[in-house]
Each structure stands twice: as structure tokens, then as C-alpha cells.
């Protein structure tokens, strides 16, 4: 083999988006970088280079046929936050090709927003600003009739992946009792993080602030619906941070509209949300346009992780910073590829 090739096919990301100063040079020092931007790399270009390729950075289609043409391939480093169905995972696992996603880059900014939303709903911050602009603000105790302190309030986390674990240290100073529901995790693991593992219904009944953080899988679509929402105590706050599809979205909005609980959502069944969607006027709903993950630094962090992990792999060491696809779960995730505001997995 001549100089090993690194295929750089980051669309819908770009080199400029993910690499801070100096990182592109670091990448080039690792091999011959063959790149394409502004769209998916053309198929024949991919095919030409695969025989010498050691790593693919991006969301290139890599079915069995192509993997067979890439005998030196060691790693596929996705620069989005999810594992996509465009790779033949079985072959990768058998051959020991690392398949990595950039989800951890987004955990911290999303966690920061999750805490912000929780405080906003608990203390009625956005609602009070709106009331003030409409001339109907209330002062002091009067202005707190409906709010509550996050400090000491019982919290529930639905899903306990990257995002939940990035949220825990931010919640720590508020000394909340934290209940967790995650059917993929043993109780002991949850307890090691000083949280209480519970059944979903118990979590819903006992929490004042509920964070929905679960990724969508084939099995959990819409698993929080009418029955589940009705278990939540009146006056609670519900935050939908991961994917709209894990809840029955119209029912979720109805509960907010009827004042059962207040809520925040960063995700919607259809994005962009239609201009005339009545959701835009629901009083108790804090609206966020799929923007909790996408801060500038998160994209640079993707680049940092790619450089670090690729560097390790090419030195014969295991990657550390990105999320590794695992045999058991890779096939279960149901995220759709390619929207520029796509978001963190579980």
C-alpha cells in the first residue's frame, strides 16, 4: 500500500465547522487526506480510494460491497451525533473496524440547556418575562404563586445515557432526589451514580421535574402517552430533550395546553415546525427550535474528538472520546440521517 488514505466526507458538516485552528494540519499529518465538501462524496471517488483507505471521517455509505473493497479500513468516524443505517455494522464488528459517533460532543451543551429549561419552568422565568411585556407582571410573592424552587424538588430522568450523565453534575448542587428509569441499564449501575432506579410509573408519579432524555429505538416510539402523562402530578415541569418520537406528541401538547403541567421542548415531530402550528401559542410551553446541542464549541469538540481518536487508532490504541457503536444496540437506533440540526443520541 502507498500512503494510507483518510477519506473526509463530512457533509452536512464542513471542515470549517468542526476544526479549530491547527486541527486540519494535524489531520493531514496522519495520512493522505482525500476530502469532498458541500455534498456527499461522489460514489466513484469513494470507490477509487477505498483500497488504500484506513479511515473514513463522515457519513459515507458503507455497505458490505464497499467494506470489502477497503481491506485496510480501521475506523469510521461519523461527525454527526447518531449512528446511521448506512454502514454494515456486522462486518465492521467482525473485522474490528471502529464505528464512532460524535454524540458526546453534544452532551454538555444539551445538559446545560436542560438545566436552564428546568430552572426556567420551575421559576417561571420566560412566562414572567412575557407577562411583563404584556403589562400583567406580578411582584414578589404574588409573582411566585405558581413557581417552585428546583432546589430539593424530586427529579426524574427518563433515559440514562450520555446526556443524563452530563446533567448529573449540574444538578448536584440543587440536592434533588433523582429517580431514573432506563430499561437498558441494571439498577446497580444507576445506583453507582447515586440515583434511584425506579419503574416508569413511579418516576412519573413522584417527580416534580421530569427530563425525557431517551433515544428513539424500534421499541420505544411513543412510549409516553395519555396514560403516562396523566400520572404526572399537577403543576410539574416536563422537559422533552431527546426526540419527539418518544412521546405521543399531540397528547403531550394537549396536557400543557390544559394546564396539567408546564413543559419545554427542543424537538418536534416535524421540523421546521409549520408556520401555523397552534403549538406556537401554547402558554405553558417553552419552545426551543432544536437548538440546545448546536453551540459553536460543540462542533469544534467534534473535530477535537475525531483527531484524538483517529490518532489513537492509527497508533494501535483504542479510541476514547467518541461513542463507539456496539453490536447489540447499533441496529436499534432509529435516527434519520443528514439534517444539519440533527442531534445527540442516547
Q: Which is nearer to a second copy, 228 or 309 (CB)?
A: 309
147 binds a second copy (CB under 8 A): yes
Hey, is 172 helix, strand or coil? helix
Among the listed residues 45, 61, 148, 223, the single contact to a second copy using CB under 8 A: 148
What number of CA atoms fall less than 13 Å from residue 268's CA on the CB side? 17
CB-based burial label for 194 (10 Å; 0-12, 13-18, 19+)? exposed
Q: Tell me, what DSSP letter sits at residue 87?
A: B
Residues 237-276 that bind a second copy (CB under 8 A): 271-273, 275
Q: Which of 310, 316, 329 is nearest to 78 (CA)?
A: 310
Q: How far apart are CA 181 and CA 338, in angstroms?
A: 30
Residues 4-23 that bind a second copy (CB under 8 A): 17
Shortest Å distance, C-beta 172 to a second copy:
7
Shortest Å distance, C-beta 17 to a second copy:
8
149 binds a second copy (CB under 8 A): yes
CB-based burial label for 97 (10 Å; 0-12, 13-18, 19+)? buried
One character per residue 88-117, x = contact with a second copy (rule: CB under 8 A):
-----xx-x-----------xx--xx-xxx
Q: Which of 325, 346, 319, 323 is nearest to 335 (CA)?
A: 346
Shortest Å distance, C-beta 329 to a second copy:
6
Shortest Å distance, C-beta 43 to a second copy:
27
137 binds a second copy (CB under 8 A): yes
Shortest Å distance, C-beta 250 to a second copy:
18
Among the listed residues 29, 64, 172, 199, the single contact to a second copy using CB under 8 A: 172
296 binds a second copy (CB under 8 A): yes
Q: How far is CA 115 from the centre of its chain?
A: 15
207 binds a second copy (CB under 8 A): no
Q: Applying CB under 8 A, which part among 35-43, 78-86, 170-178, 229-237 lies near a second copy?
A: 170-178
SS3 helix, strand, coil % of the chain, rounded to 5?
Answer: 40, 15, 45
Q: How far is CA 168 from the centre of its chain?
A: 16
Shortest Å distance, C-beta 49 to a second copy:
25
C-alpha cell, 41? 462524496
How many of the other CB atoms lie within 10 Å of CB of 315? 8
One character per residue 305-324, x = contact with a second copy (rule: CB under 8 A):
x-xxx-xx---xxx-xx---
Amino acid at each position: 500500500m502507498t500512503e494510507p488514505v483518510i477519506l473526509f466526507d463530512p457533509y452536512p458538516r464542513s471542515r470549517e465547522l468542526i476544526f479549530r485552528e491547527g486541527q486540519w494540519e494535524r489531520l493531514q499529518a496522519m495520512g493522505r487526506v482525500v476530502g469532498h465538501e458541500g455534498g456527499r462524496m461522489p460514489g466513484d471517488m469513494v470507490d477509487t480510494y477505498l483500497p488504500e483507505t484506513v479511515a473514513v471521517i463522515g457519513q459515507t455509505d458503507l455497505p458490505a460491497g464497499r467494506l470489502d473493497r477497503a481491506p485496510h479500513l480501521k475506523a469510521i468516524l461519523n461527525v454527526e451525533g447518531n449512528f446511521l443505517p448506512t454502514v454494515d455494522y456486522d462486518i465492521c464488528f467482525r473485522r474490528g473496524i471502529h464505528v464512532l459517533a460524535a454524540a458526546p460532543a453534544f452532551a454538555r451543551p444539551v445538559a446545560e440547556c436542560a438545566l436552564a429549561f428546568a430552572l426556567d419552568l420551575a421559576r417561571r422565568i420566560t412566562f414572567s418575562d412575557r407577562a411583563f411585556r404584556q403589562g400583567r407582571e406580578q411582584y414578589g410573592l404574588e409573582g411566585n404563586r405558581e413557581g417552585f424552587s428546583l432546589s430539593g424538588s424530586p427529579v426524574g430522568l427518563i433515559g440514562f445515557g450520555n446526556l443524563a450523565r452530563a446533567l448529573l453534575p449540574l444538578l448536584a448542587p440543587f440536592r434533588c432526589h433523582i429517580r431514573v428509569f432506563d430499561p437498558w441499564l441494571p439498577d446497580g449501575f444507576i445506583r453507582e451514580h447515586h440515583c434511584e432506579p425506579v419503574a416508569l410509573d413511579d418516576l412519573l408519579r413522584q417527580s416534580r421535574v421530569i427530563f425525557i432524555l431517551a433515544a428513539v429505538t424500534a421499541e420505544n416510539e411513543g412510549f409516553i402517552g395519555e396514560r403516562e402523562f396523566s400520572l404526572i402530578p399537577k403543576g410539574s415541569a416536563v422537559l422533552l430533550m431527546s426526540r419527539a418520537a418518544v412521546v405521543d406528541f399531540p397528547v403531550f401538547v394537549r396536557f400543557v395546553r390544559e394546564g396539567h403541567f408546564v413543559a419545554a421542548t427542543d424537538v418536534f415531530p416535524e421540523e421546521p415546525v409549520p408556520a401555523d402550528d397552534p403549538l406556537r401559542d401554547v402558554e405553558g410551553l417553552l419552545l426551543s427550535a432544536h437548538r440546545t446541542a448546536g453551540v459553536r464549541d460543540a462542533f469544534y469538540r467534534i473535530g477535537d474528538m475525531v483527531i484524538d481518536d483517529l490518532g489513537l487508532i492509527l497508533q494501535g490504541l483504542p479510541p476514547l472520546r467518541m461513542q463507539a457503536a456496539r453490536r447489540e444496540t447499533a441496529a436499534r437506533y432509529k435516527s434519520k440521517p443528514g439534517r444539519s440540526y440533527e442531534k445527540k443520541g442516547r
